[in-house]
Structure 1
Amino acid sequence: MSVELKQLIENIRELSPGDRALLAHCLISSLESEQDEGVDEAWKALAEKRALELEAGAVKGVSWEDIKNEVKG
């Protein structure tokens, strides 16, 4: 373990909860690989497709209440 990493770990305890959360987010984001490229576009295309299906009447929407009741069992 590098000296810098040891110092960082020791200093983490001094950070506010918000700063620790931001640090955790930054660390996790730095691990994302390039395989994630195109994910946003894929989600956008899927959302647009589903919206068109709803508008065309090809599928029927489900209410939030129905979903909650189904999950509760």
Structure 2
Amino acid sequence: MSTAFKQVMKNIENLSSDEKALVAHCLISSLEVKHDDSVDQAWGELAQQRFAELESGAERGISWDEIKNRIKQHHA
């Protein structure tokens, strides 16, 4: 293992949850080799569609607590 890796692992406990999330995001993002604009466009279109469904009442949003509860029930 590299010295940089060992240093990160040694200091990771000192990071806040937000800082750990940012580190994870940066690591995952660094794995992406090629940026595909069509993927961004597709996600944007899906987000607009979902927002329109929520605004029109065709779909109902759920809270983050409800999502966590469903996950817990699924893995129980």
TM over 0.5: yes
Root-mean-square deviation (Å)? 3.0
Question: Residues 39 and 15 of structure 1: is their aligned pair in 2 closer, same or farther, counting only changes over 3 Å?
Answer: same
Give the corresponding residue for 1:41: 41
Gaps of 5+ in 1: 1-11
Following superposition, the deviation at residue 37 of structure 1 comes to: 3.7
Match of 1:67 in 2: 67
Q: Under a length normalisation based on structure 1, what TM-score does the superposition of the two structures give?
A: 0.56
Measure how far apart 1:29 and its partner are: 3.0
Unaligned runs of 5+ in 2: 9-23
Equivalent residues in 2 for 1:4-43, closer than 5 Å: 13-15=2-4, 26=30, 28-30=31-33, 32=34, 36-43=36-43
Identity %: 39
Quickly say closer, same or farther: Cα 1:41–1:72, change in 2 above 3 A: same
Tell me which structure has the larger Cα radius of gyration. Answer: 1
Match of 1:3 in 2: none
Displacement, 1:63?
1.1
> So what's the TM-score if we normalise by structure 2?
0.54
